[in-house]
Amino acid sequence: MKQKITIKTIAKELGVSTSTVSKALKDSHEISKETKDKIQAYANLYNYKPNSLALQLRNQKTKVIGVILPKIVHHFFSTVIMGIEEGAIEKGYHIMVCFSNESYAKEVETLKVLSNGSVDGLIVSIANETLKNKDFKHFTDLVSEEIPLVLFDRVVDDILCDKVVVDDVGAGYKATKHLLDNGRKRIALITTPKHVNVGTLRRQGYEKALIEEYIKTDKNLIVEIDENSDVRKQIEFVFNQEIDGVFAVNEIYAANAMRIAKEKGLNVPKDFSVIGFTDGLISEYSSPSITTIAQHGFTMGKQAVELLIERIEKETEVYSPKKIVISSNLKLRESTKPSS
């Protein structure tokens, strides 16, 4: 890379001290107009830009926020990133994005690297493997180092930090209630393994809605998907039962379920209703389009980053972690058009 122009260069070239240059560039009253003009003209001519590393070192802050996501090729997470970035830019921050790829080891490593001073704070959604392990030491260490941290979506209560989540129980309830209202009686649930807490919470909502209608939850109608083996096969399994609707905790499962239903000759939404989670493009463009729970990823991201920046910039010693719950809502589409 070309030799960059620095304050020193300018100082030497113009026969003044670095302090004078620094002050002149900040339009300090200490410096005479002529000197300022001369220095500023020179700086402009040679396109001087203050070296941000030097400033970061001096100010002891980077104006960078680290973001660690389990994955990115995913509508929800990419929407969240959008929100985080927008919120960050508004406050003069930038984001450094890393992925854990759902791996515990990579999450630990990334957290370690980012917490060595390269970022002012972190926004994280926990990797699946970590949730399974239940080993959160890398997070609690971060907290005890007092590095600002905000967890979102996939959070755990043991980690004492700010959190942003969707109202998963409520969402599960709304989704199931909607199916019941449409007259469905035997509703399958396609969810994640228990360690993924969002899945568990959505399941609670599902069960709550059923109980209210005096329907006993039937274990055979519930399938916990193991992403390491054939997802489609596992979903097909539930179709061995007699069912008239399905609530899936994400849109991939929902799309798969609908496809299977159609292949089995079921007419969606006439004979069979489908409802998913994450209001992504699949739900919008599949046919029939799929009713979903909208997660408001953008809002989540924005709230998370605002929370974090507040935490970073507030020097208050006493600090009680906040938890923001974003309410989700139903996005009605063709897959649950009332069966006449």
Partner DNA sequence: TGTTAACACGAAACCGTTTTCGTGATTTTT
Partner DNA sequence: AAAAATCACGAAAACGGTTTCGTGTTAACA
Where on the chain is the footprint of its own copies (CB under 8 A)?
1-2, 4, 47, 49-54, 56-57, 62, 64, 72-75, 78-79, 81-82, 85, 89, 94-99, 112-118, 141, 145-148, 252, 255-256, 259, 262, 280-282, 285-287
Residue 16 binds which of DNA, its own copies, none (CB < 5-8 A, kind-dependent): DNA
We find the least distance from the C-beta atom of residue 232 to its own copies, in angstroms, to be 12
DSSP state of 166: E
- Strand segments, DSSP code E, in 109-148 are 121-124
Can you read off the two tokens belonging to residue 124?
Answer: 């994280």
We find the least distance from the C-beta atom of residue 16 to DNA, in angstroms, to be 4
Residue 294 binds which of DNA, its own copies, none (CB < 5-8 A, kind-dependent): none
We find the least distance from the C-beta atom of residue 22 to its own copies, in angstroms, to be 16
* Strand order from edge to edge, sheet including 273-277: 222-224, 187-191, 245-248, 273-277, 291-294, 329-331
Nearer to DNA, 22 or 234 (CB): 22
Q: How far apart are CA 131 and CA 195, in angstroms?
A: 6
**Residues engaged in binding DNA (CB under 7 A):** 4, 6-8, 15-20, 22-23, 25-26, 29-32, 34-35, 48-51, 53-55, 57-58, 60
The number of helix segments (H) and strand segments (E) in the chain equals 14, 12
We find the least distance from the C-beta atom of residue 23 to DNA, in angstroms, to be 5
Give bridge partners of residue 276 from the DSSP assignment: 292
Nearer to DNA, 15 or 265 (CB): 15
Nearer to DNA, 34 or 317 (CB): 34
Nearer to its own copies, 169 or 326 (CB): 326
We find the least distance from the C-beta atom of residue 44 to DNA, in angstroms, to be 14
Nearer to its own copies, 117 or 338 (CB): 117
The answer to whether residues 78 and 280 touch, using CB atoms and an 8 Å cutoff, is no
We find the least distance from the C-beta atom of residue 281 to its own copies, in angstroms, to be 5
Nearer to DNA, 25 or 222 (CB): 25
Q: How far apart are CA 289 and CA 307, in angstroms?
A: 35
Cα distances (Å, whole numbers) of residue 180 to 76, 191, 216: 26, 18, 13
92 half-sphere exposure, CB direction, 13 A CA radius: 6
3-state secondary structure 17-58: CHHHHHHHHCCCCCCCHHHHHHHHHHHHHCCCCCCHHHHHHH
Residue 197 binds which of DNA, its own copies, none (CB < 5-8 A, kind-dependent): none
